[in-house]
Amino acid sequence: MPGRFVPMPNETARAFAAFRIYLDQGRDRSLQRVGDTMGITKRQVEVWSKRFGWMERVRGIELALANLEQAARERLAVGKAVVWEQRHEVIRLAEWERHKMLLTLADLVIDRWRRNPNKAGTLEGIARVIELASKLARAASGMALEPLMEPAPAVHFEVNVALDKVYGQPRPGEVVVEVKP
């Protein structure tokens, strides 16, 4: 980006100073204000502006600054994502350890229950411990907390199908299902 932040070849110190004033004016830039600030005519400022490509230089500087700002935002976002991923990993590891501990506890209670069901808590309590251990394992491994279960296929019994089976042939496209007790 030579020429954007430094004087252009053959650009005098006075002309470059005028460019810096123009650049520093921000969105409301005015060649007239540059001339007024420096005590020179607007015409002289226009000559410098055209000769040294002030508008293109300003666009280049603004684009470079916008790119730097975007890159800084992206670095910040990546940094935050890394920090949160590290936090999530700590939680996942802790949940996995709790999962293993709960399964060990459930095994102990089941063994105790086998030896003496009256001194080991309820089967419902054991089932809850195992369910919690499963949820911790699923959370720690990034799986859905509830296992996905496909709904059982619906079974319809129709009287007409049964009657057709007994007294005649099924209608086209119908499937007859026999249910034996």
Work out the number of other CB atoms within 10 angstroms of the CB of residue 55. 11
List of residues 6+ apart from 38 with CB closer than 8 A = 14, 17, 18, 21, 45
For the stretch 80-100, pLDDT in tens is: 999 888 888 888 888 888 888
Q: Confidence class of residue 2 from pLDDT cuts 50, 70 and 90?
A: very low
Q: Give pLDDT, residue 177.
A: 61
Amino acid in position 19: F
pLDDT bin (cut points 50, 70, 90) of residue 153 is: low
Q: What is the pLDDT of residues 35-68, one digit of tens each?
A: 999 999 999 999 999 999 999 999 999 999 999 9
- What does pTM read for this prediction? 0.49
Checking if the pLDDT of 3 tops 60, the result is: no
Nearest alpha carbon to residue 56 among 22, 28, 10, 33: 22
Give the residue, 124 or 41, on which the prediction is more confident: 41
Q: Is the pLDDT of residue 1 over 60?
A: no
